[in-house]
Amino acid sequence: MNKGKKLYEGKAKIIYQTNDKGLVIQHFKDDATAFNALKKANIEGKGVLNNRISEYLLNTLAQCGIETHLVKRLNMREQLIKQVEIIPVEFVIRNIATGSLTKRLGISEGTVLNKPLLEYYLKNDELDDPLISKEHIYSFEWANEQEIQAIDKMSLRINDILQGVFRGVGIKLIDFKLEYGRTWNKDKEVNEIILADEISPDTCRLWDIKTDKKLDKDRFRKDLGNLIEAYQDVARRLGIMPEEMNISEVNFGKTASIKFKKK
């Protein structure tokens, strides 16, 4: 597997070509951004932790029958993934009200929602990722009704599975963001929708069940500090990082060889 030229660089990840048609490499950077990149920082070790946590969560989902883009993790910062045509919508699933939902609609922080709330945001930095409705998605042909039906169903199933995974390790899944892509299924000869991007403390809100301590990117957004310690705590609780290991002991260079637990 040869790493080819850079195809795309986003805020937290880079995509590289490979010599294998249909497969690309997803590289996790240490860059953290918030408020549409108005706030930026480089947090050593974040990419390594997100790579590992996302690998674990996507593999868990795959075991439950969710089709994902992940082929395998290659090293500390990189994953081999299926190349997809990303649907230009961020799919947000909420269980408890916080963040933009409370600000936009005046819902009290921490309100437990009757049932998971699905929201759609257009992926467009220049417009600040505006909230959109399904009708906008259909009108402008960002995706069709059949695709959105399939995505809604998958998102709710993913929410059920992830809520269970996190509850089992003492964490509440407050809300999270998913991205999906289209890929050609050779066997079935149809375009199909699969889960893409990442699922990590960068894209989820995770609160400790007992104390409501934030174990996610809100530590950066709200200047709460100790972001890496919180992400490490998530990795440890999921059983993918040895108890005794501290991220400060890890060499993050290209040759780094942190031994994560095989699950």
Q: Mark residues 131-170: x for contact with ligand UDP by CB under 6 A, - for none.
A: ----------------------------------------
* Closest distance of CB 244 from ligand UDP, Å: 30
Does residue number 233 form part of the binding site for ligand UDP (CB under 6 A)? no
30 three-class SS: coil
* Closest distance of CB 161 from ligand UDP, Å: 16
* Closest distance of CB 105 from ligand UDP, Å: 11
Does residue number 203 form part of the binding site for ligand UDP (CB under 6 A)? yes
- Name the segment binding ligand UDP (CB under 6 A); options: 162-170, 184-192, 199-207, 240-248: 199-207
Give residue 173's region: left, alpha or beta (phi > 0; psi -120 to 50): beta
* Nearer to ligand UDP (CB atom), residue 143 or residue 204: 204
Does residue number 88 form part of the binding site for ligand UDP (CB under 6 A)? no
Q: Mark residues 95-114: x for contact with ligand UDP by CB under 6 A, - for none.
A: ----xxx-------------
Q: Percent helix, strand and coil across the chain, each rounded to 5?
A: 30, 35, 40
215 three-class SS: coil
* Closest distance of CB 167 from ligand UDP, Å: 17
Q: What is the CA radius of gyration of the chain?
A: 18
Give residue 223's region: left, alpha or beta (phi > 0; psi -120 to 50): left
Does residue number 52 form part of the binding site for ligand UDP (CB under 6 A)? no
Does residue number 175 form part of the binding site for ligand UDP (CB under 6 A)? yes
User: How many Å apart are CA 220 and CA 214, to the nearest integer?
Assistant: 10
Q: Exposed (0-12), middle (13-18) or buried (19+): which is 235, by Cβ within 10 Å?
A: buried
* Residues that contact ligand UDP, how many (by CB under 6 A): 13
Among 205, 228, 240, 247, contact with ligand UDP (rule: CB under 6 A) = 205
User: How many Å apart are CA 78 and CA 34, to the nearest integer?
Assistant: 23
* Closest distance of CB 17 from ligand UDP, Å: 25
26, two tokens: 């997803």
- 216, 241, 73, 255 alpha-carbon torsion, rounded to 10°: 110
Provide the CA 95 distance to its chain's centre, in angstroms: 16
Among 20, 31, 67, 129, contact with ligand UDP (rule: CB under 6 A) = 129
225, two tokens: 């500090």
* Nearer to ligand UDP (CB atom), residue 55 or residue 90: 90
Residues that bind ligand UDP (CB under 6 A): 90, 92, 99-101, 129, 175-177, 203-205, 217
